[in-house]
Amino acid sequence: MYKVYFTKLIRLQTMNVFTQCLNPLTGTVTWEEKDENYDYHQEVARSAFADMLHDSERNQKYNAAIEAAIKCKHELGQEANVLDIGTGTGLLSMMAAKCGADSITACEAFTPMAKCAIKIIQENGFEDKIKLVHKRSTKMTVGKDGDIIKRANILVTEIFDTELIGEGALFTFRHAHENLLEENCIVVPHTATVWVQVVESAAVCAWNTIHPIQHKNQNLLKIPHSIKSCSGAAAVHDIQLTQFPYNAFKPLLPPQPIFRFTLSNKSHLLYNETNCLHVKATESGTAHAIFMWWNLIMDINNEILLSCAPVWEHPDAKMLQNKGIPLDVIADVIPWRDHWMQAIYYLPVETPVTANNEVCLIGYHDEYSLWFQLINESIKKVPDCERPICSCNVHVAYCRTRIGQLNDHTRNKKYIEALKKKITSDTVCLCLTDGCLLGLAAITLGAKKIYILETNFLSRKCIEMFVETNSLTEKVHIVKSVDNLPPESEINLIFGEPYFITSIVPWENLYFWYLASKYSSQIQRIPIAATLMGVIVEFKDLHNIRAPLGICEGFDLSIFDKLIQISSDKSDSPIEAQPLWEYPGKALSLPFVIKKFDLLQNVNEHKNINISAAVPILKNGTCNGVALWVDWHLDSEITISSGPTAEVQPGKRISWDRFTRQGVHLFKDIARVTQRSVVSYSFNFVPQHGNVKFDFHILSKSMK
């Protein structure tokens, strides 16, 4: 079960620690006893690089480029002296050793990984060839008594993130050139290029800008000007663009390279840079956002390309398309990466463009971030543009998933239909949801008065803006604390979506139940029930974020597997939250009901729940996960699901709601299952304490 941990710790004489944590189900703060090394284990578990190391294309192209660099130095009659910055498991250093490097110095600042790398290097027989320095590269020294005797002439490193430069790559490369590398060194990778594509997409906008709530051509809630004019969150929106429906956006400009960094040349590594591209629009429309990805040229001969492009722009995919292979089939063979996703940048101003007319696409970057603007006319002087930051609080108070949820017309329509059945001119409603815009819309539907519980300061400020813009001050009362909820005599309807900022997995929104239980069951409620659901899944790729490596490119990394597994067992929940629409997976079973909760009952009077059952596998496949979600029953006829958006069919890909995160259990021991197999599970819920526990096991007869 997920809990929000505070930094406050109390250490015992036994060296164990008590950790203060918030239970998102009950809203109470408790103390939990943890192992003395809990912080250490949590940090190690979060540093897992498994999905990156499972990326065989990445590994093979790094290996090919390292081999080419070493060969180049040897052909020039020089030694190949390699520096590996941020070595992690030591994989790239071992590749260099296998390719014949004369000397290899690897550095790793993260203590657990440095110790792990030393053991891995020893286990693979390279302890005499690789020197590991437990430091950041920026702290390393060169000289007789230094960390390396002389400057290296080959640098290998992988310090990139979704935004390419977000992990401080520019500073790291510049420092290395100035202090650790020879002048004519070879850097692997050799160059990095940022690509952008301007698009029109209402679906993309839904993650960034709150739109008016409408019902049957009636505007139920207006949007404050400060929200409409806000440029959005400064943080990059990382996303698996390949999974974004191709019919949900329209490219307005062809993809453009906008920044190119020659990593082998310090003068090409600028901390602040602006680039203006004059491009003809290929389509007419409104430019809403920019899709971004990057690629690497791994070698100095420009022969080894590693692309992070989405499937429709991936160079390998284009070759397959030319052979007549459908795009959805190609998507299954393009390398999958969760460590290097694509990104969306929202334009500060939506800009209309006309086909065949020239526009100016301007890119900016500082040491760590990128941002963009679009001007639909030719310009001679490039305007300054500060990095966008949120000025309306919405993008700080709510995650993008929640903003998208607020804009989900189908979902809002169901809530409005349920509210209309209950609301009269005498209705006094208590809204138990963070950022409850639908609660405000209830006034327009005819409610007499609305109480809205808003304990989060930023969310409360957002609601106050909506109240003022829609002239609802006299009919809306914002409650700042659970302790100040109105008495039962003042309300006759309790409403929730439900959504709470502190909730991570879907069932933690049952906090609504705990709050509603402060009142008698005689008061009408929306929703009236919640059903916890699950389905057995064969994920195409997602399981690789937790899957052990074993042998990776011929090197034994099982020591790393053990380190991560031990720390994960001590610090991780067996269920994590993931936006499953981004991760293809097919159903191996039908959806199954774990437990239906009657939200009209008092949760505090509910008995402990202990359920054990087995789910039959209906399609042969590889069982690597279980997906979990909640269906909210607004009344006997209307249900909102945080799970699949279409009927689940065993053997078919599941379509998931884009505006919620589902719970996921990934099996440590993945099994090939048949239609004679079952997955057993247990579910334990202690309402008094809000403790939830899941346990899953594969009981299979292996396929031969």
Question: Which residues participate in catalysis according to the annotation?
Answer: 158, 167
CA 18 to centroid of chain Cα atoms: 29
Distance CA 641, CA 410 (A): 11
Query: Coil, strand or helix: which one is 663?
Result: strand
- Locate tokens 């004369």: which residue? 102
Q: Are 418 and 638 in contact (CB under 8 A)?
A: yes
Backbone angles phi, psi at 291, to 5 degrees: -85, 135
Q: How far apart, in Å, are the Cα atoms of 1 and each of 272, 518, 535?
A: 43, 24, 19
Burial class (CB in 10 A: 0-12, 13-18, 19+), 183: exposed
The residue to which tokens 């699949």 are assigned: 644
Q: Are strands 152-157 and 81-85 parallel, antiparallel or unpaired?
A: parallel
| Residues 164, 368: Cα–Cα separation, whole Å | 9
Query: C-alpha angle with apex 36: 35 to 40, nearest 5 degrees?
Result: 95
Tokens of 281: 């629009």
The answer to whether 48 and 68 are in contact (CB under 8 A) is no
Q: How far is CA 84 from CA 90, 148, 153, in A?
A: 8, 12, 11
Please give the helix or strand (H or E) that residue 286 lies within, else none: strand 285-297
- Picking from 659, 664, 696, 695, the residue whose alpha carbon sits closest to that of residue 677 is 696
Residue count (the chain): 704
Given a contact cutoff of 8 angstroms between Cβ atoms, the answer to whether 82 and 93 are in contact is yes
Q: How many other CB atoms are there within 10 angstroms of residue 517's CB atom?
A: 19
Burial class (CB in 10 A: 0-12, 13-18, 19+), 426: exposed
Taking the C-alpha atoms of residue 580 and residue 665, their distance in angstroms, rounded to an integer, is 12
The Cβ-side half-sphere exposure at 217, using a 13 Å CA radius, reads 0
- The secondary structure of 395-410 as a DSSP string is HHHS-HHHHHHHT-HH
Asked if residue 99 lies in contact with residue 554, where contact means CB atoms within 8 angstroms, the answer is no
| Identity of the residue numbered 438 | L
Q: Which of 555, 469, 562, 506 is nearest to 122 (CA)?
A: 555
- Are 252 and 281 a contacting pair, CB within 8 Å? yes
Of all helices (H) and strands (E), which one includes residue 627? strand 621-633
Cis ω before 189 (30° cut-off from 0): yes
Q: Identify the burial level of 13 via C-beta atoms within 10 angstroms of its C-beta, where 0-12 means exposed, 13-18 middle and 19 or more buried.
A: exposed
